[in-house]
C-alpha cells in the first residue's frame, strides 16, 4: 500500500501539470482527461478528500476571522464534466454561511441591459467568504464565441451584425476580463480558475446515463446534444480563453475529469495549497481586548448557577 507521502507527492505532481503558466501555449489534447497513476483508486481518494475537507474547514474559519481576503473559485467546462459534483463533494464540509455559490444561466433582459460583468459583480464574495462561480464571466468568450449571433442581444455599440465581432473584438474582451480580475486581485480577492477537462467519449457516456436513469433525467436537456455538435469549436474557444487569461494572480488549472474522484481530489488540493501558502491566522487580541475578556470571564464565574 502506498504511503501518505507517496500519495501527496503524486497529487502535488499532477497539480503542477494542471497549472497553466502565464504566456504558455495551450493545447487541450496535451492535457490528460483521466487518472493515469497506479497509487490511488476511488475509495482511497475519497478517504483522502474527506480528511482534506476537515482541513479546508479550518482554513475557512481563519479566512473569515482574518477578514481581509476573499476567495473566488471559477468552474468552466463542457456539459456533464462534473461542476455540480465538485461543489457538492469539496465544499460540503465548509460553513454554508461563508460560501456563496452562483450559477449563471443565459442572461435575462435586465442583465443584457448592463455590461456583461454586472451580474457577476453582484455575486462576488465579501471579505472572509468563499465564492464559487458555476460558469462565469467566461461564458462571454465561450458560448458567444461559438454562437456569435448571441452577441446581438447585448445591443453593443459597433456590433450590428455577426461579422462585426472580429479578432480585435475578442482580444478586447480578453483584455477586459484580465483587467476585471486584476482589479479584484489587487483588492484582496484570491482567484482560482478550473477547467474540467472531460473527453468527448466520457461526455457521451454521462449523457446516456442521464437518459437511462430516471433520477438523472432532470439533468439532461436536448440542447446538450445540440451543443455537443460544436465540440471542436468549444475546444478551440477554451484553449484561447485559457491561453489569454491565465495570470499569476488568476491562474487556470486544467483538471482531468473523466474520473470524477480524481478531479475533485486535485481541486481540493489546489485550494488547500493556496490556503497553506496564505498562512492565515486568527487575529491576536490587543491588551485592552484581553483585559475585557478577563473581566467578562470573572463576571461569568461569579454568577450563581
| CA–CA gap between residue 164 and residue 161 (Å, rounded) | 6
| CA–CA gap between residue 97 and residue 25 (Å, rounded) | 39
Which alpha helices (DSSP H) does 147-259 contain, by range? 167-186, 200-212, 222-228, 231-245
Query: Do 64 and 275 contact (CB within 8 A), yes or no?
Result: no
How far apart, in Å, do the first and last CA atoms of the chain sit?
55
* Residue-level pLDDT at 2: 80
Q: What is the 3-state composition of the chain as percent helix, strand, coil, each rounded to the nearest 5?
A: 60, 10, 30
| Residue 66 CA: distances (Å) to CA of 94, 128, 238, 284 | 16, 7, 35, 10
Question: Can you give the pLDDT of all 305 residues of the chain as single tens digits?
Answer: 688 899 999 999 999 999 999 999 999 999 999 999 999 999 999 999 999 999 999 999 999 999 999 999 999 999 999 999 999 999 888 999 999 999 999 999 999 999 999 999 999 999 999 999 999 999 999 999 999 999 999 999 999 999 999 999 999 999 999 999 999 999 999 999 999 999 999 999 999 999 999 999 998 888 889 999 999 999 999 999 999 999 999 999 999 999 999 999 999 999 999 999 999 989 889 999 999 999 999 999 999 87
| CA–CA gap between residue 265 and residue 53 (Å, rounded) | 10
* Residue-level pLDDT at 92: 83
Which pairs count as long-range contacts for 62-65, CB under 8 Å and 24+ apart, including other chains?
62/275, 62/280, 62/281, 62/282, 63/98, 63/128, 63/129, 63/130, 63/275, 63/280, 64/95, 64/98, 64/128, 64/129, 65/128, 65/280, 65/282, 65/283
141-175 burial: b if 16+ Cβ within 10 Å, else e: bbbbbbebebbeebeeeebeeeeebeeeebeebee
Q: Helix (H, G, I), strand (E, B), or coil: what is residue 130?
A: strand
* Residue-level pLDDT at 4: 87
Q: Which CATH architecture is the domain 4-302 placed in?
A: 3-Layer(aba) Sandwich (3.40)
| CA–CA gap between residue 218 and residue 234 (Å, rounded) | 24
Measured at the CA of 40, the angle between CA 18 and CA 73, to 5 degrees, comes to 35
| CA–CA gap between residue 263 and residue 18 (Å, rounded) | 10
- Which residues does residue 76 pair with via DSSP β-bridges, in sequence order? 195
Amino acid at each position: 500500500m502506498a504511503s501518505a507521502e507517496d500519495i501527496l507527492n503524486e497529487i502535488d505532481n499532477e497539480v503542477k501539470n494542471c497549472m497553466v503558466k502565464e504566456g504558455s501555449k495551450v493545447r487541450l489534447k496535451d492535457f490528460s482527461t483521466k487518472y493515469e497513476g497506479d497509487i490511488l483508486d476511488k475509495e482511497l481518494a475519497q478517504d483522502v478528500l474527506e480528511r482534506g475537507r476537515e482541513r479546508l474547514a479550518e482554513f475557512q474559519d481563519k479566512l473569515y476571522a482574518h477578514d481581509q481576503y476573499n476567495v473566488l473559485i471559477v468552474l468552466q467546462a463542457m456539459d456533464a464534466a462534473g461542476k455540480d459534483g465538485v461543489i457538492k463533494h469539496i465544499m460540503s464540509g465548509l460553513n454554508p454561511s461563508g460560501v456563496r455559490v452562483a450559477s449563471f444561466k443565459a442572461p435575462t433582459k435586465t442583465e443584457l441591459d448592463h455590461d456583461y460583468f454586472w451580474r457577476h459583480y453582484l455575486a462576488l464574495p465579501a471579505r472572509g467568504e468563499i465564492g464559487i462561480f458555476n460558469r462565469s464571466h467566461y461564458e462571454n468568450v465561450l458560448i458567444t464565441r461559438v454562437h456569435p449571433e448571441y452577441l446581438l442581444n447585448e445591443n453593443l455599440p459597433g456590433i450590428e451584425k455577426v461579422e462585426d465581432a472580429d479578432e480585435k473584438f475578442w482580444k478586447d474582451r480578453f483584455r477586459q476580463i484580465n483587467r476585471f480580475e486584476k482589479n479584484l486581485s489587487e483588492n484582496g480577492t484570491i482567484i482560482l480558475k478550473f477547467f474540467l477537462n472531460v473527453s468527448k467519449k466520457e461526455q457521451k457516456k454521462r449523457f446516456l446515463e442521464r437518459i437511462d436513469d430516471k433520477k438523472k433525467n432532470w439533468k439532461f436537456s436536448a440542447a446538450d446534444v445540440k451543443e455537443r455538435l460544436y465540440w471542436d469549436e468549444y475546444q478551440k474557444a477554451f484553449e484561447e480563453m485559457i491561453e489569454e487569461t491565465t495570470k499569476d494572480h488568476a491562474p487556470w488549472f486544467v483538471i482531468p475529469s473523466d474520473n470524477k474522484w480524481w478531479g475533485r481530489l486535485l481541486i481540493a488540493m489546489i485550494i488547500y495549497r493556496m490556503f497553506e501558502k496564505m498562512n492565515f491566522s486568527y487575529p491576536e487580541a490587543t491588551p485592552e481586548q484581553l483585559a475585557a475578556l478577563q473581566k467578562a470571564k470573572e463576571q461569568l464565574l461569579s454568577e450563581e448557577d
